[in-house]
């Protein structure tokens, strides 16, 4: 069984067969999905999907790529979506992305990240953090909110950074990247982080694991991520399945 802690079934990549894919993965052992908003439109769609499917939950939030679209009306809508729906279980995905030069300016990203961290604190919800090429600034802002917990999704940092996240009470999200040949850094992190602090995720439609690398990802492919984690930690796939489902339930208070 699988709990996908980070998916984007609102993405246009699923427009032609969304319902068919979601029903298929449920039959294939996916018992839980956290669908994460990126844009406001994607957030609204995430909530609709969570309302439609019993095994889906929603995270609401604005990705740093869209930080320049963030204003008081947006934060108020995120607040209302969260307050009035028990299927909304997290604020996300939020954070910092310094990878692309044409992303909003860093000071804008930081301001929007802080505002959404404050919202999570206000609503007593966990956060789903996006951190790309911004480890230092991300960690600094996480430390400003010691009452907020969550997951650093699609983890790309060092073992040292992972340990700092663990000290703050965060989970570490592992994607299909762990199956790639050049995944030494992620493998080191998986080896060092206790199993009870790991989550498995697709980030679908992106990040498909080997043998589907480059193809559209979906939640039942997490079995390849689970198999790889089991190999790294020298435990059974069943143990990884069981513990990561338990971890997702703890994170989302299910």
Residues forming the annotated binding site for a divalent metal cation? 6, 8, 93, 130, 153, 203
Which residues are annotated as part of the binding site?
6, 8, 93, 130, 153, 203
Q: Are strands 171-174 and 30-36 parallel, antiparallel or unpaired?
A: unpaired
Q: What is the 3-state secondary structure (H, E, C) of 234-254?
A: CCCHHHHHHHHHHHHHHHHCC
- Could you tell me where the beta strands, DSSP code E, fall in the chain? 2-7, 30-36, 56-60, 88-97, 127-132, 150-152, 171-174, 198-200
| Residue 134 near residue 98 (C-beta atoms within 8 A) | yes
Please state, in angstroms and rounded to a whole number, the distance separating the CA atoms of residues 131 and 157. Answer: 9
Element (H, E) at 226: helix 222-233
Q: Are strands 198-200 and 2-7 parallel, antiparallel or unpaired?
A: unpaired
Please state, in angstroms and rounded to a whole number, the distance separating the CA atoms of residues 56 and 43. Answer: 13
Please state, in angstroms and rounded to a whole number, the distance separating the CA atoms of residues 165 and 160. Answer: 9
Please state, in angstroms and rounded to a whole number, the distance separating the CA atoms of residues 217 and 209. Answer: 8
């Amino acid at each position: 069984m699988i709990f996908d802690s980070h998916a984007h079934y609102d993405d246009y990549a699923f427009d032609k067969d969304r319902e068919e894919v979601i029903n298929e993965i449920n039959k294939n052992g996916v018992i839980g999905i956290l669908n994460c908003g990126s844009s406001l439109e994607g957030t609204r769609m995430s909530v609709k999907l969570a309302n439609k499917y019993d095994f889906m939950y929603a995270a609401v939030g604005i990705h740093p790529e869209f930080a320049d679209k963030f204003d008081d009306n947006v934060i108020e809508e995120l607040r209302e979506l969260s307050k009035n729906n028990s299927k909304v279980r997290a604020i996300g995905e939020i954070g910092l992305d310094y990878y692309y030069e044409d992303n909003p300016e860093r000071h804008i990203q930081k301001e929007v990240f802080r505002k959404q961290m404050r919202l999570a604190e206000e609503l007593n919800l966990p956060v789903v953090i996006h951190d790309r090429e911004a480890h230092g600034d991300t960690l600094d802002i996480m430390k400003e909110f010691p009452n907020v917990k969550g997951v650093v999704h699609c983890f790309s940092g060092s073992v040292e950074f992972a340990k700092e996240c663990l000290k703050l009470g965060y989970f570490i999200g592992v994607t299909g990247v762990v199956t790639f040949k050049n995944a030494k850094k992620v493998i080191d992190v998986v080896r060092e982080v206790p199993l009870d602090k790991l989550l498995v995720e697709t980030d679908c439609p992106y990040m498909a694991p080997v043998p589907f690398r480059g193809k559209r990802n979906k939640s039942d492919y997490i079995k390849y991520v689970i198999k790889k984690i089991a190999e790294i930690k020298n435990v059974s796939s069943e143990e990884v399945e069981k513990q990561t489902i338990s971890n997702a339930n703890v994170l989302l208070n299910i």
